Amino acid sequence: MEEHEESEYLEDSEDSEDSSDISDGQPEWDGVLKHWMLYIDAPTYTEKPIIHLVGSPDSYRVETRFLTDEDEDSFIDRVNLCDIPNRQGVYDAIINAGERARVNNQDPSYNSQVYIIRLLRALERRRIVSNKDPKYKEAKKKLKGKQQRPNVMQ
């Protein structure tokens, strides 16, 4: 029997007090954009890759690295997306998709949340995750419901 690990989206922020306010189906904009990352919950810290954006709105870049204790301490929410085979080739394919994903530094509304949603679509196209899996479909829907829509014209 093959072991499986969970692929999760994680949200972190320095302001972790209120992350669950809902208004008209979208999270209430409190002025603090929650940072999202994709992380593979593998057996040990050195085996838990994360993929996310670092930088600022006009100079984002993709960072892939392993989860640290500091990362774990900053999480305010998790959404378990799906199970993936516990194999290095699968991890490598996910990391490769993350590193190859287009980063749009020209669009002021582009952020880590948009990046993660687009990365999930890339993983679906590569058949790493299945958009036919009911657990994944429901988790992705939940995740998209958490996506903040800041007014970039303020």
Which sequence spans correspond to the domains of the chain? 4-13+34-145
Q: What is the model's pLDDT at position 87?
A: 80
- Its pTM stands at 0.78
Residues 47-104: tens digit of each pLDDT: 789 999 999 888 999 999 998 888 888 888 888 999 888 788 888 999 999 999 999 9
Residue 27 burial by Cβ neighbours in a 10 Å radius (0-12, 13-18, 19+) = middle
**Cβ-based neighbour number of residue 111 at 10 Å:** 21
- Work out the mean pLDDT of the chain and round it to a whole number: 80
Rounded CA gap, 88 and 92, in Å? 6
Q: What is the model's pLDDT at position 68?
A: 87
